[in-house]
């Protein structure tokens, strides 16, 4: 195999890894948005909020967080993206694992509040 072929293959691998890292970065942004505690106040959504609208808001947050967790744990595409990055020891894998743990904790808290 020629050196030119090796360089070409390496460049193609780097492009693929970059694309996978871009996907993880996009997921990270979505999860961080869902974890943000500064959700819009209930008053902005309902003209005269009461306890029921607050309960509905808490329930919706729990549903959103649970949905994200379900998608991360059951979709084969997630594993297909993360596996190659783990194989090359991408620093995004560690950060994403921490974020996934934060998501799991936030979902547990939200489920307890419901």
**Residue indicated by tokens 């030119």:** 4
Q: Is 70 exceeded by the pLDDT of residue 1?
A: no
Q: Is 60 exceeded by the pLDDT of residue 42?
A: no
Of 11-15, 23-27, 100-104, least confident by mean pLDDT is: 11-15
Q: Is 50 helix (H, G, I), strand (E, B) or coil?
A: coil
- Whole-structure pTM value: 0.78
Strands (E) located in 35-80: none
Contacts 24+ apart (CB under 8 A), 79-85: 81/20, 81/23, 81/24, 82/24, 84/16, 84/17, 84/20, 85/17, 85/20, 85/21, 85/24
pLDDT band at 46 (very low <50, low <70, confident <90, very high): low
Q: Between residues 114 and 24, which one has the greater pLDDT?
A: 24
Q: Is 5 helix (H, G, I), strand (E, B) or coil?
A: helix
pLDDT of amino acid 40: 56
């Amino acid at each position: 195999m020629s050196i030119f072929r090796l360089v070409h293959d390496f460049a193609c691998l780097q492009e693929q890894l970059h694309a996978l890292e871009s996907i993880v970065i996009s997921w990270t942004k979505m999860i961080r948005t869902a974890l943000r505690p500064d959700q819009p106040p209930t008053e902005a959504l309902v003209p005269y909020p009461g306890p029921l609208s607050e309960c509905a808001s808490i329930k919706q947050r729990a549903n959103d967080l649970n949905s994200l967790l379900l998608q991360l744990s059951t979709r084969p595409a997630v594993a297909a993206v993360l596996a190659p990055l783990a194989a090359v020891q991408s620093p995004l894998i560690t950060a994403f694992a921490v974020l996934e743990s934060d998501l799991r904790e936030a979902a547990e808290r939200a489920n307890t509040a419901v």
